[in-house]
């Protein structure tokens, strides 16, 4: 059985998050109300289908025209309106459009990024998309809307390969969207300039230990540490290591930290530029400070499954995590405490947070508040009279119940001594407890039958 611990959940502030799962469903979870609230599933988009399982997501969190891009297992990429759930357009993951389904099935998408800053001027164009497959094929293309005219000219895609062998398992872009990072199994971390499509840096593996044994290359998650600096990189490995790379210093890791004994599955940076969050394959969640190279602490409340995605709110001090235990959890980053959790039934693959969500309390029938002192006094008098009336009714109810009980006991006593002609015997039986009266009455009845 997995280790679990019970903690109090005080509730979380107003929030809107979108989750994807292994059945291809997209669920919208919202917390409404100014005070602490409980997350609730308000919408579910799409039919449940294992062939439409979500492999990667990208959220262009813009105040105007936000877009949610979803890469599915069947080789399609959907672009949705994250506010209403409408499908804007759908394209194939393979730009060539070949009918060879086996080739696309063996080369699944592992990286997906929809550019926030590169908005197309034309109304018929949706934006620019970057995709990366497991075999290292990277493609940057323009995406048109579904209602675009057929004669609309679209720029040819820019394609290249980031590896000659191995499997790419993680990819990420810096906040400026000018540099991309790739890594995986037998694939060292390599940094590419997207404007020139050239590799500008590649990591080197750690040195062998005293026995001459080298650690195999196996990166599972990566991200950029600082928002304004693409030169500092954080990566997690399958050997439960968290590494910090500085491309201006050296090619090997500057700091390497061992965390527990399970592979690192998710890494997410904080907005402060020196803190990041790590999730493991057995549900451990912790935060690290790269200024000291030490762990700040683990989060209270054990997860029961592998953590596959972590999202940080850009304004509020909270993060959201999800994974194979089918729970979406909201955490307080200051206290490292669980604020709330909601069960979503399927294995979750990713979570994103809508930073532009504004809390709107549900309009209910609320009594009008009194404005003058006389109205306040009259309202308090009415409430006092109502309380007195309720207390009087409750006292009367208890008195009636006691009277009925006493009358029932008296009738029972009369039945016990019925049929006895001797007054002395009646008085003697009347002084006995009820239990002994029953036994006496039973024995007397048996004697009369004899």
Q: For residues 256 and 348, what is the distance between their CA atoms, to the nearest angstrom?
A: 29
Query: Three-state SS for 309?
Result: strand
Band (pLDDT 50/70/90 cuts) for residue 26 is very high
Predicted confidence at residue 244, as pLDDT, reads: 96
pLDDT digits (tens, 9 = 90+) for 174-231: 999 999 999 999 999 999 999 999 999 999 999 998 999 999 999 999 999 998 899 9
Predicted confidence at residue 361, as pLDDT, reads: 43
Choice between 98 and 75, residue whose per-residue pLDDT is larger? 75
Nearest to 41 by CA among 57, 22, 17: 17
Q: What average pLDDT does the segment 26-31 reach?
A: 95
Query: Three-state SS for 349?
Result: strand
Question: Going edge to edge, which strands form the sheet with 167-173?
Answer: 167-173, 179-185, 187-193, 198-202
Band (pLDDT 50/70/90 cuts) for residue 404 is confident
Tell me whether strands 318-323 and 327-332 are parallel, antiparallel or unpaired: antiparallel
Predicted confidence at residue 369, as pLDDT, reads: 45
Spacing of C-alpha 149 from chain mean position: 39
Q: What average pLDDT does the segment 247-276 reach?
A: 95
Q: What average pLDDT does the segment 316-342 reach?
A: 94
What DSSP line would sit under 27-65, residue for residue? Answer: EEEEE-SSS-B--EEEEEES---GGG-EEEEEEE--SSS
Q: For residues 169 and 264, what is the distance between their CA atoms, to the nearest angstrom?
A: 12
Share of the chain above pLDDT 70, in %: 75
Q: What average pLDDT does the segment 395-416 reach?
A: 70
pLDDT digits (tens, 9 = 90+) for 273-303: 999 999 999 999 999 999 999 999 999 876 7
Q: What average pLDDT does the segment 19-46 reach?
A: 90
Question: Any bridge partners for residue 191, and if so which?
Answer: 181, 201
Is the sign of the CA dihedral 299, 301, 302, 303 positive or negative?
Answer: negative
Choice between 424 and 365, residue whose per-residue pLDDT is larger? 424
Highest mean pLDDT among 121-135, 281-295, 357-371: 281-295
Tell me whether strands 275-280 and 232-237 are parallel, antiparallel or unpaired: unpaired
pLDDT at 379 over 70: no
**Beta carbons within 8 Å of 359's beta carbon, 6+ residues apart:** 13, 14, 31, 32, 33, 34
Nearest to 60 by CA among 358, 319, 318, 356: 356
pLDDT at 364 over 50: no
N-terminal to C-terminal alpha carbon distance within the chain = 68
pLDDT at 384 over 90: no
């Amino acid at each position: 059985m997995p280790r679990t611990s019970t903690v109090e959940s005080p509730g979380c502030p107003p929030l809107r998050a979108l989750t994807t799962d292994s059945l291809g469903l997209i669920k919208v979870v919202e917390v409404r109300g100014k005070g602490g609230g409980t997350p609730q599933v308000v919408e579910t988009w799409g039919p449940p289908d294992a062939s439409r399982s979500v492999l990667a997501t990208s959220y262009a969190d813009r105040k105007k025209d936000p877009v949610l891009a979803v890469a599915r297992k069947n080789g399609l990429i959907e672009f949705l309106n994250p506010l209403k759930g409408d499908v804007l357009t759908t394209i194939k993951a393979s730009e060539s459009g070949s009918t060879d389904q086996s080739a696309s099935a063996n080369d699944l998408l592992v990286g997906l990024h929809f550019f926030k800053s590169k908005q197309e001027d034309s109304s018929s164009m949706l934006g620019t998309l970057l995709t990366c497959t497991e075999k290292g094929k990277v493609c940057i293309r323009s995406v048109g809307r579904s209602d675009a005219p057929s004669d609309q000219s679209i720029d040819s895609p820019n394609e290249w390969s980031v590896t000659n062998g191995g499997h790419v398992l993680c990819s990420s872009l810096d906040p400026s969207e000018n540099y991309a990072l790739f890594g995986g199994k037998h694939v060292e971390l390599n940094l590419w300039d997207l404007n020139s499509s050239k590799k500008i840096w590649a990591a080197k593996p750690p040195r062998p230990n005293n026995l001459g044994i080298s650690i195999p290359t196996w990166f599972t998650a990566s991200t950029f540490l600082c928002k304004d600096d693409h030169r500092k990189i954080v990566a997690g490995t399958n050997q439960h290591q968290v590494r910090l790379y500085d491309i201006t210093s050296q090619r090997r890791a500057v700091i390497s930290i061992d965390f527990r004994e399970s592979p690192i599955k998710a890494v997410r940076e904080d907005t402060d530029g020196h803190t990041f969050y790590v999730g493991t394959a057995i549900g451990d969640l912790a935060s690290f400070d790269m200024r000291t190279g030490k762990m700040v602490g683990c989060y209270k409340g054990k997860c029961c499954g592998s953590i596959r995605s972590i999202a940080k709110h850009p304004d509020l001090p909270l993060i959201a995590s999800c994974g194979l235990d089918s729970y979406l959890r909201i955490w307080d980053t200051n206290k490292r405490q669980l604020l709330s959790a909601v069960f979503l039934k399927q294995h979750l693959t990713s979570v994103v947070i809508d930073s532009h969500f504004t809390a709107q309390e549900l309009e209910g029938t609320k009594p009008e508040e009194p404005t003058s002192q006389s109205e306040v006094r009259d309202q308090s008098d009415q409430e006092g009279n109502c309380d007195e009336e309720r207390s009087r009714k409750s006292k009367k109810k208890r008195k009636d119940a006691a009277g009925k009980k006493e009358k029932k006991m008296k009738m029972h006593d009369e039945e016990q001594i019925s049929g006895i002609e001797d007054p002395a015997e009646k008085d003697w039986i009347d002084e006995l407890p009820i239990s002994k009266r029953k036994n006496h009455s039973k024995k007397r009845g048996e004697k009369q039958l004899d």
